[in-house]
């Protein structure tokens, strides 16, 4: 009974305590909104302003008791120092300002933490190199030395945006989704942490690939601010090279791969020691994916002078295969930079892998063996220094003046170079290659050069000259080389001269060529479709001379024998000039121009000229047509015009010329014809010649189907009757006559052509006569003989023919078969 009496008061006490706690919590939640603290707004504004070191404006203040006492500030704006501009340094819609508990016990009100979310912060750099946060640290330095220093609040921002300005100009760079914190430790040291995603406002970016930037640092306020001790650890991870180049340069430079960088800085803003490392994996060009993407890892140390924008004691090193590369030097702000490069047993394969990463024209099967070692110094200041002139005694000839030294000194040695690959029948080997600074040329970059000889299948060695610069390379070839070996060289170097050599064989050629190009191939852009790309990988310039070679084309049945030819190469354009050739019994000379690729509507197709002294149709038939029946050389040759057949004739235009063409019954002289060839046929857009004492001109076309289709339109003037009559075994006399006609025919043989011939013919002959046993007397002498004829059914028939003699008019009917020998029949009817 006593225990129950004692337990009752205890239970009632716990109940009252729980009720009081619940009431207190409800009061903390419900009461603050009803407490008017507007009269404390000015005091709170002063506290926040003192904490941030800037004038502050806010539109409203609310009391918050949970989870810890503080204030909720609405529409906070932190004004900028006028020295850095007029735009606010910070703006946030809502800010949480927590109160320091210890200050409340002393009857004071102090801010312990200021938290902002989705705020906008401006970092401004003035012209003198100072940043707008310098005043914050200067105030912190002053308060640190005060006897009763007020502790600085913990400043933090989440999901915010940090903008960067250069004076009054807002740069396009910013940091998105940034989480930042700035606080002061007990010993006066400031700590800063930052993480966010870099962005750029003036270009379109895939933000997921710009990476994440994080920073963790400590600094102690000092006056002046550039003497402030600091330590920073920064990291940029998960960055993709394409988006990174768009971020930093404003454009995608075409690189792909993943990048990670780290930086550690110790010192002051005036002078700091920096350690940096850069790791990249899967590096390749956007245009192609190499067999083995490039990976590299480099570490650097340097002394950075931020205010003067200069670097001292630069020292970068990177392992390369089994070797090692090291770069040392300095980048002063008031004089040219000076760099020293040391290479120790760098594998030649590593250089080939880099080249293969830069350009996709390198043969993927190509492999390199050898080691590159040496030391190079780049010092433009030393090159510009000229020695003082020296006096010489009279009568003593001064020594020859050496050319001025370039900015590059030292040298590299490549030993036991061997190149192998599927495109090389035999390896290219060089026992030792010394790369030394080239003699400086006006308006040219510093470069390394080397000369050596290699066997190339000719009667003597091939001389090779190499010139390597930062922008690109030059490769000079001079001497005899077999055509097969020359074709191999063109293939593995990516030179566009290779297609011109594919169908050639024969005796060694003599070359005098310079191949050049940038290390990184230009992006290929095709204008129109179809069409070759306009960008070239390697440019070739020079001459290749051939003797006793042969050219086997896919669209010719037999090889063309080249007695002598010169191939002129000029930056992607080729000109064969001259070419002395023979094709069977047909001999002639020609030129062929293959311009560099161009964009329509410019004409950049092949153009040719061909000249023959004497052509005989019988010889042409033997060379090109063979027996006149289907299934022989003629049908095979013409079948190549068919679009369904592969390959087809290439598109080309040119001029054909012949001093004389023997057609059997008569000879054409001074022949000139413009020929246009396409994959489905050929067209003589115009032809002119002297024939039978007169002239003939016209056009002709050839279209290919099951049988070749011919269309000829011609006009003749000034033909001599005696020469025309002799073709028909008749005696014609009188003035010259003229005419015109159009003829269509098809087939392979003379019989096919005669049976399929169809067309029209008209003529006009004045003051003439025909004497023949089968010619009527009315044609013996006439004033005018004119008419029209129809060609068809294997014969030519006069349909509207009139013979005038004085006032007398006579109609003549005539017919001539087209077969050989010709048969002519003539009849007369009076009107």
Residue-wise pLDDT tens digits, 656-666: 999 998 877 78
The model's pLDDT over 290-307, given as tens digits with 9 standing for 90+, comes to: 766 778 889 999 999 877
Find the mean pLDDT for residues 410-429. Answer: 91
Residue 425 bridge partners (DSSP): none
Which of the four pLDDT bands, split at 50, 70 and 90, describes residue 533?
A: very low
Q: Are 630 and 748 in contact (CB under 8 A)?
A: yes
| Range with lowest mean pLDDT among 360-364, 714-718, 807-811 | 360-364
Q: Are 46 and 55 in contact (CB under 8 A)?
A: no
* pLDDT at residue 385 in the model: 57
Separation between Cα atoms, residue 556 and residue 534, nearest integer Å: 29
**Range with top average pLDDT, 344-353, 785-794, 804-813:** 344-353
Beta-bridge partners for 273: 266, 303
Most confident of 56-70, 236-250, 412-426: 412-426
Across the strands, what pairs with 180?
157, 194
Q: How far apart are CA 436 and CA 335, in angstroms?
A: 25
- In this prediction, residue 636 has a pLDDT band, given cuts at 50, 70 and 90, of very low
Lowest mean pLDDT among 254-263, 458-467, 544-553, 631-640: 631-640
For residue 826, pLDDT beyond 90:
no
| pLDDT band at residue 525 under the 50/70/90 scheme | very low
Q: Is the pLDDT of residue 637 over 70?
A: no
What number of CA atoms fall less than 13 Å from residue 406's CA on the CB side? 22
The better pLDDT of the pair 160, 556 is held by 160
Question: Which has more confidence, 719 or 291?
Answer: 719
Q: What are φ and ψ of residue 446, in 5° steps?
A: -60, 140
Long-range own/partner contacts, residues 627-636 (CB < 8 A, 24 or more apart): 628/748, 628/749, 628/750, 629/748, 629/749, 630/748, 633/557, 634/748, 635/748, 636/557
pLDDT above 90 for 463:
yes
CB count within 10 Å of CB 453 equals 13
**pLDDT tens track for 401-415:** 454 567 889 999 999
Q: SS3 of 466, please?
A: strand
In sequence order, the β-bridge partners of residue 694 are: 691
Query: What's the mean per-residue pLDDT of the chain?
Result: 79
Q: How far apart are CA 577 and CA 339, in angstroms?
A: 49
* 170 confidence band (pLDDT: 50, 70, 90): confident
Interior CA angle at 252 toward 250 and 258, to 5°? 115
CA 47, 48, 49, 51 torsion-angle sign: positive
Which residue, among 691, 695, 656, 690, has the nearest Cα to 672 in the 3D structure? 656
The residue length of the chain stands at 831
CA separation for the pair 256, 240 (Å, rounded):
7
* pLDDT per position as a tens digit, 578-621: 999 998 778 899 998 887 766 555 567 789 999 999 887 666 65
**340-362 average pLDDT score:** 85
- Mean pLDDT throughout 116-125? 88
Q: Is the pTM of this model over 0.75?
A: no
Q: Helices marked H in 702-747 — which ranges?
A: 721-727
Q: Please state, in angstroms and rounded to a whole number, the distance separating the CA atoms of residues 459 and 339.
A: 45
* 589, containing H or E segment: strand 586-594
pLDDT at 10: 59
pLDDT for residue 433 is more than 90 = yes
């Amino acid at each position: 009974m006593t225990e129950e009496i004692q337990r009752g008061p205890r239970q009632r006490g716990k109940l009252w305590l729980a009720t009081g706690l619940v009431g207190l919590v409800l009061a903390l939640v419900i009461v603050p909104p009803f407490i008017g603290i507007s009269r404390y707004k000015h005091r709170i504004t002063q506290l926040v302003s003192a904490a941030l070191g800037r004038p502050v404006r806010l539109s409203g203040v609310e009391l918050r008791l949970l989870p810890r006492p503080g204030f909720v500030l609405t529409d906070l704006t932190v004004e900028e120092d006028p020295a850095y501009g007029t735009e606010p340094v910070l703006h946030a819609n809502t800010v949480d300002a927590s109160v320091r508990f210890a200050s409340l016990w002393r009857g004071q009100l102090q801010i312990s933490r200021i938290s902002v979310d989705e705020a906008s912060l401006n970092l401004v750099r003035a012209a003198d190199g100072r940043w707008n946060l310098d005043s914050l640290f200067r105030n912190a330095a002053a308060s640190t030395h005060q006897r009763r220093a007020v502790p600085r609040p913990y400043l933090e921002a989440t999901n915010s945006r940090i903008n960067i300005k250069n004076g009054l100009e807002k740069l396009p760079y910013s940091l998105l989704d940034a989480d930042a914190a700035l606080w002061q430790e007990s010993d006066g040291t400031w700590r800063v942490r930052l993480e966010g995603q870099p962005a750029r406002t003036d270009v379109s970016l895939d933000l997921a690939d710009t990476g994440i930037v994080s920073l963790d640092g400590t600094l102690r306020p000092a006056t002046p601010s550039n003497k402030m001790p600091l330590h920073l650890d920064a990291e940029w991870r998960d960055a993709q090279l394409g988006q990174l180049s768009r971020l930093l340069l404003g454009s995608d430079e075409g690189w792909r791969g993943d990048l990670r960088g780290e930086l550690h800085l110790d010192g002051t803003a005036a002078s700091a020691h920096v350690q940096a490392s850069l790791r990249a994996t899967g590096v390749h060009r956007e245009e192609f994916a190499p067999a083995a993407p490039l990976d590299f890892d480099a570490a650097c140390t340097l002394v950075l002078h931020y205010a003067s924008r200069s670097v001292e004691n630069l020292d970068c090193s990177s392992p390369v295969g089994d070797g090692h590369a090291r770069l040392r030097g300095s980048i002063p702000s008031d004089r040219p930079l000076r760099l020293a490069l040391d290479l120790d047993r760098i594998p030649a394969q590593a250089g080939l892998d880099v080249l293969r990463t830069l350009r996709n024209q390198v043969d993927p099967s190509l492999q390199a063996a050898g080691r590159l070692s040496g030391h190079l110094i780049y010092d433009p200041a030393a090159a510009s220094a000229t020695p003082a002139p020296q006096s010489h005694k009279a009568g003593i000839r001064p020594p020859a003046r050496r050319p001025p030294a370039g900015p590059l000194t030292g040298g590299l040695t490549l030993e036991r170079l061997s190149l192998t690959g599927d495109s090389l029948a035999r390896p290219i080997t060089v026992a030792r290659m010394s790369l030394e600074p080239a003699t400086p040329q006006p308006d040219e970059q510093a470069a390394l050069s080397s000369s050596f000889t290699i066997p190339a299948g000719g009667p003597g060695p091939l001389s090779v000259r190499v010139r390597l610069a930062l922008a690109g390379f030059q490769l000079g070839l001079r001497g005899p080389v077999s055509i097969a070996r020359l074709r191999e060289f063109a293939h593995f170097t990516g030179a566009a001269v290779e297609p011109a050599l594919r169908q050639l064989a024969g005796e060694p050629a003599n070359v005098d060529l310079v191949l050049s190009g940038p290390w990184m191939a230009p992006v290929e852009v095709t204008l129109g479709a179809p069409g070759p790309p306009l960008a070239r990988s390697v440019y070739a310039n020079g001459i290749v001379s051939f003797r006793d070679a042969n050219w086997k084309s896919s669209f010719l049945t037999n090889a063309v024998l080249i007695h002598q030819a010169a191939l002129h190469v000029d930056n992607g354009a080729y000109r064969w000039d001259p070419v002395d050739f023979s094709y069977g019994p047909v001999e002639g000379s020609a030129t062929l121009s293959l311009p560099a690729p161009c964009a329509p509507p410019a004409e950049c197709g092949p153009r040719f000229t061909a000249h023959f002294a004497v052509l005989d149709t019988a010889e042409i038939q033997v060379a090109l047509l063979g027996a006149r029946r289907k299934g022989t050389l003629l049908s095979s040759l013409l079948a190549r015009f068919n679009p369904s057949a592969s390959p087809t004739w290439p598109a080309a235009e040119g001029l054909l010329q012949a001093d004389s063409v023997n057609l059997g019954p008569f000879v054409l002289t001074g022949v000139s014809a413009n020929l246009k060839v396409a994959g489905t046929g050929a067209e003589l857009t115009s032809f002119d010649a002297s024939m039978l004492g007169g002239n003939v001109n016209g056009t002709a076309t050839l279209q290919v189907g099951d049988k070749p289709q011919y269309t000829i339109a011609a006009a003749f003037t000034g033909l001599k009757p005696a020469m025309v009559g002799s073709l028909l075994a008749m005696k014609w006399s009188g003035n010259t006559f003229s005419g015109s006609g159009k003829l269509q025919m098809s087939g392979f043989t003379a019989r096919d052509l005669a049976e399929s011939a169809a067309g029209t013919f008209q003529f006009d002959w004045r003051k003439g006569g025909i004497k023949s046993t089968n010619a009527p007397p009315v044609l013996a002498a006439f004033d005018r003989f004119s008419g029209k004829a129809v060609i068809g059914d294997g014969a030519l028939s006069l349909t509207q023919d009139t013979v005038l003699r004085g006032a007398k008019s006579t109609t003549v009917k005539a017919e001539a078969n087209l077969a050989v020998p010709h048969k002519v029949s003539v009849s007369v009817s009076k009107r």
